[in-house]
A and B are shown apart, each in its own frame.
Chain A
Amino acid sequence: MARANVDLLQGTLDVLILRTLAGGPMHGWGIAQRIQQVSEDVLRVNQGSLYPALHRLEDEGWIAAEWGASENNRKAKYYRLTRRGQRQLEAETENWHRLAAAVARILQTA
């Protein structure tokens, strides 16, 4: 791994998943790829913890799953954002911005 990648903060994975699914339904592998891609390889999802997170979010009712066919026509489990998930994402996003802004302020002044 040429580029330094960052360990995800606790809980951050959830919001990343929700944000990724806001773009449309996706299966697990797709989500992992997408996060890595969009973050330009900075964030590499620990795949072992991706699925437990998906199952947890499903249990919370923020995402829903249904089975469909994948790109090369294999049976795949597609996750999509629910309305409650949408609200959760908005709340989490705002939280994140606040946190990031606060950290940034401290880093600038201190």
Chain B
Amino acid sequence: MSSFLDRMRRTARALRSRHRREQEMDDELRLHLDLETEANARRGMPAEEARRAALLRFGGLEQSKEACRESWPGRLLTDLGQDVRYGLHGLRRSPGFTAAVAVTLGLGIGANTAVFSLVNAVLLKPLPYARGEQLVILRQPDARSAAADLGFSVQEVRDYREMSRRFDSVVEYHSMDFTLLGGGDARRVRTGVVSSNFFDVLEVKPLLGRAFNAADEAPGADAVLVLSNDYWRTLGGDPGIVGRRFEMNDRVHTVVGVLPPIPQYPDENDVYMPSTACPFRNRPDVLASRRARMLRAFARVAPGVTLAQAQAEVDGISQRLRAAYPDALPRDSEARVALSPLKEDLVRQARPTFLVLLATVALVLLIACANVANLTLARLVERSRELAIRAALGAGRVRLLRQLLTESTIVALAGGALGLLLAYATRDLLTAFAARLTPRAGEIEIDGRVLLFTLATSVVTGVLAGTLPGLPGREKIAATLLGDGGRTTGDRRRQRMRAGLVAWQLALSFVLLIGAALMLRSFENLRRVDAGFRGDQVLTARLNLNFSAYSNAEHRIDVERVNSFYRALDDQLRGLPGVVAIGAAWTFPLNSSFQNDGTFTIEGRAASTGGPAPKATFVGVSPAYFEALGVPVLRGRAFDERDKVGGPGAVLVNERLARRHWPDADPIGRRITTDGGRTWRTIAGVVGDVRQESLDREPQDAVYLPFREFPGYGAILFVRTLGAPGQIAKQIRAAARTADPQTAVTGLRTLGDIRSEALSSPRLTSMLLGLFATVALVITAAGLGGLIAYSVSRRTHEIGIRMALGADRSRITAMVLREGMTSVGIGLGIGMAGTLALSRLVSGLLFRVGPNDPICFAASAIVLVLAAVAGCVVPARRATTVSPMTALRAEV
């Protein structure tokens, strides 16, 4: 340690006294030469001769000095300073080169920084909850359907909490829409209903006020709310909001706290309330039933317990519960509750897309790097004289190489700064993009780690671009000094290396082009999907009734009152000019968060089949729903006035379901039951398939129920208009308020908007990939152009001779292009092989297009060839304008 300090001290002193040291070395060597000269003179040499002999005997004076300096303390630092000074000087001398390199690298590094900031925030950073790696989700998977989670009943969550030893705690969660009254319009608030220790388990400390405590969850406790950070801001961000009262569900709720700005999971809620405050969860029948699975369950694994140990315990509890309550789960579903880490769940959707993006930008940077290496190679030839002189002055090869590295690193750092600016400028766009894939998007920022990444990328890029070209050989340097700066074998080797670099660039560009083409084609396929509705002139709105005003004494929905609200609303809207149809339903199409799958039994087939019961998505819709959405009624009828409580008990099914269960028969008039035969409902019509879940998933079998028999507190309104649908928005709000002023109206948008929103994430992904591929292509074409230009300039003499011998312009052009196309051919070959090996990595992101789609391959190859030809055109034209006479006269 002390010797280290000692060394540091000596280094500092040495840096300060560098000038004196130089002086002393000169003195020392001068004395040596003087003494040697005198000794020679004593041996009888004439003065002149004695001096010359002394110098000869000594050898290279400057080299010797340079070698002395090598061993001085602080040598590296002083050299670096010198290298940087030289480097800056050299770069200033060729601003065009410098700018080209900095911009090329800036694009590459910027793209990498931007994408890394996504990856860092979403995939790498720990969750913003303390010890987030211990947080797990409990899932009750449904073996029969794709649904990942059947949910838990109130009693089950309690059982898991009480029976487990390997969890610190188990908390429940569900989310509902309620209506918040108090000041201005009624507001629909998305409400997270949670165990009182929910925030303690996540270890989230409130920004203002407090989180819930056990007293809040006690029966008869005052109703309290915790606001999310976002919702607090939309309310004005009042720092004194704690204590403010709102009316909700016929009770006064007091705000006790505000959350910090953290990603909320599983939903972005506006407010939170303790579990005992939710009127639905606490309905006696819900509390009593083990089949009322409305809750989600989270847990924190106890310290020192592994996920596998916790899972083993949970397996045991599941088995015991299954044995004790055989009816709690559907008979054919598996009883295994699965644990999955919260972090994985948060990023499941984002991971594949982000990784593909990361790979893409890395390739772009490699291409940029190759281009810079190529530019550096070209410049090295111009600079060989300078290098030779420095070598003669005693700079060793290592020193020269370091000089070149310093230069390329300086430029790369400039590129890195540019890249940071780029990343900073695009971060809002990226956040919006990521928000569609993960709740963690809000965490995206350019933090220390991103800066470090950019710095490291810049330095590595600089070193790579500076090392690839290598240093001219010793003979080459000597040859340059002797005035023979022309062709040597090393030169040809370097030209081959440049061609190789360009071929690799072409190969990588080809890979990127294919990736972008696959993505574009996949997006195009998605865009063309017929979702089953005609939505351009349909305005949708989410209506939420203040449920306390529409519930009966048992906290159940009062069907008559809800229906009268919709009748009043209908009367208001029907009279408006341009309104064609007004429908209502439980959900809107392409709504990935709507899940209402269930099983049913077909009359007369129940016992015979023995297999799993048929399943379908159940959606309640009003009579005019199909007309409003433009969904065809293929057979039978839609719902009408008859279909109400006490009516004929009609249902509609979609075409898919009809085909599956009655491939050769008419389903109209057949009966199905969902409650084991207590009530039977008759199929009254078959309607077209609608993609209720998402664009990229096939429509599910669907059973439509009459909304009037099964209304909801919340519903989606669909209004088909003749004119522009946006104009009706205000009237919808007014009509809803007239029908009931406590109604919250949100999410006004057209069905077209819903559709394009569903497309926005794949659209942006394909746009980004397309953009990166284009950048790569431009860089590559420029690189190829530079290579050919250099080659043409070297072959001026040869071209002159050819032209003098009668070759016409098209021949010369063809000759130049052929050289370019050789690289393209090699690049296509390597790229093709690479893509075939890599393309299945993206197959998960593709929709209706195979990873080895021949059309995409062909189109990418054509684009690559066209870009390459464009890159070669300028140098080719220059070749054809060579005047034979000038060329022949040119001393080569």
Q: Which residues of A contact B (CB under 8 A)?
A: 27-29, 32-33, 46-49, 51-52, 55-56, 58-59, 67, 70, 74-77
- Majority-rule SS of A interface residues: helix
Report 13 cross-chain contacts, Cβ distance below 8 Å, ordered by A residue.
A27-B31, A28-B32, A29-B35, A47-B36, A47-B58, A48-B58, A51-B28, A51-B32, A51-B67, A52-B67, A55-B71, A56-B70, A59-B71
B24 interface hit (Cβ, 8 Å): yes
Interface contact A49-B67, CB-CB below 8 Å: yes
Interface contact B31-A75, CB-CB below 8 Å: yes
Interface contact A77-B28, CB-CB below 8 Å: yes
B68 interface hit (Cβ, 8 Å): yes
Interface contact B72-A47, CB-CB below 8 Å: no
Q: How large is the interface on B (under 10, 10 to 19, 20 to 34, 35 or more residues)?
A: 20 to 34
Contact of A51 among B57, B64, B73 (CB under 8 A): B64
Interface contact A29-B64, CB-CB below 8 Å: no
CA–CA, A10 and B462, complex, Å: 35
Question: Which residues of B20-73 have CB atoms within 8 Å of chain A's CB atoms?
Answer: 24-25, 27-29, 31-32, 34-36, 39, 57-61, 63-64, 67-68, 70-73
CA–CA, A52 and B64, complex, Å: 7
CA–CA, A59 and B71, complex, Å: 7
B68: chain A residues at CB < 8 Å are 51-52, 55
B70: chain A residues at CB < 8 Å are 52, 56
Q: With A47-B32, A48-B63, A59-B71 in contact, do A75 and B27 touch (Cβ < 8 Å)?
A: yes
A46: chain B residues at CB < 8 Å are 59
Q: Given known contacts A48-B60, A58-B71, A59-B73, what 4 new A-B pairs fall within 8 Å (CB)?
A: A29-B36, A51-B28, A52-B70, A75-B31
- Per-residue CB proximity of B303-327 to A under 8 Å, as 1/0? 0000000000000000000000000
List the B residue with the shortest CB-CB distance to A31: B32
- Per-residue CB proximity of B278-311 to A under 8 Å, as 1/0? 0000000000000000000000000000000000
List the A residue with the shortest CB-CB distance to B58: A47
CA–CA, A53 and B27, complex, Å: 17
CA–CA, A21 and B563, complex, Å: 111
B57: chain A residues at CB < 8 Å are 47
Interface contact A59-B67, CB-CB below 8 Å: no
Q: With A59-B72, A59-B73 in contact, do A28 and B28 touch (Cβ < 8 Å)?
A: yes
Question: Smallest distance from the beta carbon of A70 to chain B beta carbons, Å?
Answer: 7
Interface contact A48-B59, CB-CB below 8 Å: yes
Contact of A48 among B24, B34, B64, B71 (CB under 8 A): B64
- Majority-rule SS of B interface residues: helix
List the B residue with the shortest CB-CB distance to A32: B32
B58: chain A residues at CB < 8 Å are 47-48
B28: chain A residues at CB < 8 Å are 27-28, 51, 76-77
B35: chain A residues at CB < 8 Å are 29, 70
Q: Which residues of B contact A (CB under 8 A)?
A: 24-25, 27-29, 31-32, 34-36, 39, 57-61, 63-64, 67-68, 70-73
List the A residue with the shortest CB-CB distance to B75: A59
CA–CA, A56 and B64, complex, Å: 12
CA–CA, A51 and B57, complex, Å: 14
B36: chain A residues at CB < 8 Å are 29, 47
CA–CA, A51 and B36, complex, Å: 14
Question: Smallest distance from the beta carbon of A106 to chain B beta carbons, Å?
Answer: 33
B67: chain A residues at CB < 8 Å are 48-49, 51-52
CA–CA, A49 and B60, complex, Å: 10
Interface contact A77-B27, CB-CB below 8 Å: yes
CA–CA, A76 and B58, complex, Å: 18
Interface contact B71-A56, CB-CB below 8 Å: yes
Question: Smallest distance from the beta carbon of A8 to chain B beta carbons, Å?
Answer: 14
A29: chain B residues at CB < 8 Å are 31-32, 35-36
Q: With A29-B36, A46-B59, A77-B24 in contact, do A51 and B29 touch (Cβ < 8 Å)?
A: yes
List the B residue with the shortest CB-CB distance to A72: B38
CA–CA, A49 and B59, complex, Å: 9
List the A residue with the shortest CB-CB distance to B6: A61
- Point out which of B24, B35, B57 has the most chain A C-beta atoms below 10 A from its C-beta: B35
CA–CA, A58 and B73, complex, Å: 10
Question: Smallest distance from the beta carbon of B23 to chain A beta carbons, Å?
Answer: 11
Question: Smallest distance from the beta carbon of B91 to chain A beta carbons, Å?
Answer: 32
CA–CA, A9 and B616, complex, Å: 89
B72: chain A residues at CB < 8 Å are 55, 59
CA–CA, A75 and B39, complex, Å: 18
A52: chain B residues at CB < 8 Å are 64, 67-68, 70-71
CA–CA, A67 and B24, complex, Å: 9
B24: chain A residues at CB < 8 Å are 67, 77
List the A residue with the shortest CB-CB distance to B21: A55
CA–CA, A28 and B35, complex, Å: 10
- Point out which of B39, B60, B71 has the most chain A C-beta atoms below 10 A from its C-beta: B71
CA–CA, A75 and B35, complex, Å: 12
CA–CA, A28 and B24, complex, Å: 13
Contact of A70 among B31, B60, B64, B71 (CB under 8 A): B31
A27: chain B residues at CB < 8 Å are 28, 31-32
A77: chain B residues at CB < 8 Å are 24, 27-28, 31
B31: chain A residues at CB < 8 Å are 27-29, 70, 74-77
Interface contact B64-A49, CB-CB below 8 Å: yes
- Point out which of A47, A75, A76 has the most chain B C-beta atoms below 10 A from its C-beta: A47
CA–CA, A47 and B59, complex, Å: 7
A74: chain B residues at CB < 8 Å are 31, 34
Question: Smallest distance from the beta carbon of B775 to chain A beta carbons, Å?
Answer: 49
B25: chain A residues at CB < 8 Å are 51, 55
B64: chain A residues at CB < 8 Å are 47-49, 51-52
Q: Which 3 A-B pairs have the closest CB atoms?
A: A48-B59, A52-B67, A56-B71
Question: Smallest distance from the beta carbon of B811 to chain A beta carbons, Å?
Answer: 58
CA–CA, A29 and B34, complex, Å: 10
CA–CA, A76 and B24, complex, Å: 10
Question: Smallest distance from the beta carbon of A87 to chain B beta carbons, Å?
Answer: 15
CA–CA, A15 and B265, complex, Å: 72
List the A residue with the shortest CB-CB distance to B54: A47
List the B residue with the shortest CB-CB distance to A74: B31
A70: chain B residues at CB < 8 Å are 31, 35
CA–CA, A81 and B24, complex, Å: 20
List the B residue with the shortest CB-CB distance to A52: B67
- Point out which of B29, B31, B60 has the most chain A C-beta atoms below 10 A from its C-beta: B31
- Point out which of A28, A51, A77 has the most chain B C-beta atoms below 10 A from its C-beta: A51
CA–CA, A48 and B32, complex, Å: 11
Question: Smallest distance from the beta carbon of B647 to chain A beta carbons, Å?
Answer: 101
Question: Smallest distance from the beta carbon of B56 to chain A beta carbons, Å?
Answer: 10
Question: Smallest distance from the beta carbon of A97 to chain B beta carbons, Å?
Answer: 28
Question: Smallest distance from the beta carbon of B74 to chain A beta carbons, Å?
Answer: 10
A47: chain B residues at CB < 8 Å are 32, 36, 57-59, 64
List the B residue with the shortest CB-CB distance to A71: B35
CA–CA, A77 and B35, complex, Å: 13
List the B residue with the shortest CB-CB distance to A70: B31
A51: chain B residues at CB < 8 Å are 25, 28-29, 32, 64, 67-68
B34: chain A residues at CB < 8 Å are 74
CA–CA, A47 and B29, complex, Å: 10
